[in-house]
Structure 1
Amino acid sequence: MEANPLFKTYKEINDDMILFNDEYYLSVSLADVSAIDTGTREALFNHLFAFDSSDMELEIDVSEEEEGRWYLQLLVPHVLTLPDAAKRRLEKGKEQLLAHLSQQKGSPELRFLSGEDIFTYVQRYNPDLRRIS
C-alpha cells in the first residue's frame, strides 16, 4: 500500500507545543485584531514581520482577518533539537515576541492555543493529519 503524500503527522509534546510532521516544534497564538483599524493592522503586520529571534521562527497567518483573527505560529526546527530544548527555545521566543509587541502601539493581547485548539488549527491546513504517540 502506497503512503498518502498529503499525510502529515501531529505529536503532542505538552499541552501547548506539538511536533508537526517531524519538521517543526510548533506553538500557536491567537491575536484578536477586530478592534484595530486597517492602518494600525498594516503597521502591526510590518512590525511582526520584522521580528527576529535566534530561538524561533515566526509565521503570521492572516487567513481569518475578516473575522478579526490572526494566528502567530512559533516554530523551532526539529533537526538536532530535543523536546526539552525546543520548549526552552519557544519560551524564550515567546518572551522576545511579547517584548517586541509591547513596542508597537495598539498591539493586541495574545492567547496561546492549547490541546484540541492547536490540533483543530493545524488540521485546517492538513486534512489528512494523523496523531502519533
Structure 2
Amino acid sequence: MDLVQKKYQRMDEHTVLFNEEYYLRVMKLSIDGLDAAAREELFTHLYSFESADIELEIDISEEEQGKWYLQLLVPHVLTLPEAANKRLTRGEEQLGEHLSGQSQAAFTFRLAEEELYHYVKRYNPNLNVTA
C-alpha cells in the first residue's frame, strides 16, 4: 500500500511550507485549569477570530492533556516567503489582541523546529522533508 507523501519545507525556526499549499505556524495554548464552560467560551471566542492576513484552525486533539494548538495558515499560491512571514507575524499580533480581552486566555507560544516537525508528522506520518 502506497501512502501519500506530504512535503514539509522549513522556512525558519517557527515556519514551514506544508505540502506546497500553506505556510504554517503553530501556537500551543495552555487550557489547564479551565472548566468546560470556560473552554467552550474560549473556543467560541477563537472561532470568531477573523483576519485578512491568516486563516486560523483550532486543534483540540490534546485537550485532555490541557493544551490546544492554533494553526496559523497563509496560502502558498501567489505568496512569496517574505510576504507570508509578514502576514503570519501580523496575524499573530491580531490573534494576541483578540485574545487579550479574554480573562481566561491562556499562555501561548510558537512551536519551533523539532516540536513543530513532530506536530505536523503526527497528522502526516509519511512526511517528506525537502530543502
User: What SS does the aligned partner of 1:39 have?
Assistant: helix
- Who is 1:87 aligned against? 85
- For 2:26, what is the secondary structure of its paired residue? strand
Q: State the one-letter code of the partner of 1:39.
A: A
Aligned counterparts of 1:76 and 1:5: Cα–Cα separation in 2: 26
Q: Deviations over 1:27-60 (max 9, x none)?
A: 0010110111110000000000000000000000
Identity of aligned residues (%): 50
Q: Which amino acid aligns with 1:50?
A: S
Alignment size in residue pairs: 130
Q: Which residue of 119, 126, 129 maps to 1:128? A: 126
Quote the offset at 1:123 in angstroms.
0.2
Q: Give 5+ residue unaligned stretches, structure 2.
A: none
State the SS of the aligned residue for 2:50.
coil
Aligned counterpart, 1:26: 24
Give the structure-2-normalised TM-score. 0.97
Partner SS for 1:90: helix
SS at match of 2:78: coil
Equivalent pair of 2:30/2:107 in contact (CA under 8 Å): yes
AA aligned opposite 1:21: N
Backbone CA RMSD of aligned residues? 0.8
Moved over 6 A (4+): none
Q: Does 1:41 align with 2:45?
A: no
